[in-house]
A and B are shown apart, each in its own frame.
Chain A
């Protein structure tokens, strides 16, 4: 089955700096890669996603890049703000195999003033 590795497990940045979280996946058939943000005590929220036919996608201060050959994808947050502090999870899906999400282990991002 699919295996998703995520690094780093914790990340601390100064407000205004950029943050990058990286994930690798094992199943070359995976074709959809969402990112979720989970604040303490809240549900995971979908913040951005990318399909395998696209190399990069941006939405304001967040972007995701995908390297299919290397089987890794990354989340980039620019101009970080305190409200970006949360746990971020990457995930991978093979949409031809039941659309089951396999999650990474999560990254605790702390944005310091």
Chain B
């Protein structure tokens, strides 16, 4: 499977600031997604990162709060804007559609965000 990295691995941020999380894959993938996992909870899809066009957001998530970029088939960023303590969570990217694979999706190591 593809090797997926995320930066930063963790951060502590002040409320009102923004943080940009990077997701890098070592091979081209057709699909990239961003998820949020709050402590002790399941994973919730934030948006699908579309290469060369605007991301597709799920209900409850908006572009102004979570702007996403995907400039190519191996890289995406998620920004958490104007943060509040409620944004404290783990943010994970997932990828799918690598060459030779079917529907499988694989996750990056995650970014643990704490907002104070």
Contacts and interface: CB of A to CB of B under 8 A. Distances in A.
Interface of A: 1, 32, 34, 36, 42-46, 49, 51, 89, 93, 95, 98-106
A43 B108 contact: yes
B56 interface: yes
Chain B interface size, as a band, is 20 to 34
Contact of B42 (A1, A49, A89): A89
Interface stretch (B13-21, B65-73, B98-106): B98-106
Main secondary structure of the interface of B (DSSP, over half): strand
Given A32-B103, A34-B105, A93-B103, A100 B42 contact: no
Given A43-B92, A43-B110, A101 B42 contact: no
A89 B43 contact: yes
Contacts of B33: 100-101
Given A98-B48, A99-B31, A101-B33, A44 B43 contact: yes
A49 B104 contact: yes
Contacts of A45: 107
A32 B107 CA distance: 17
A85 B104 CA distance: 23
Contacts of B56: 98
B104 A34 contact: yes
B105 A43 contact: no
A52 to B, nearest CB: 11
A1 B58 CA distance: 11
A103 B106 contact: no
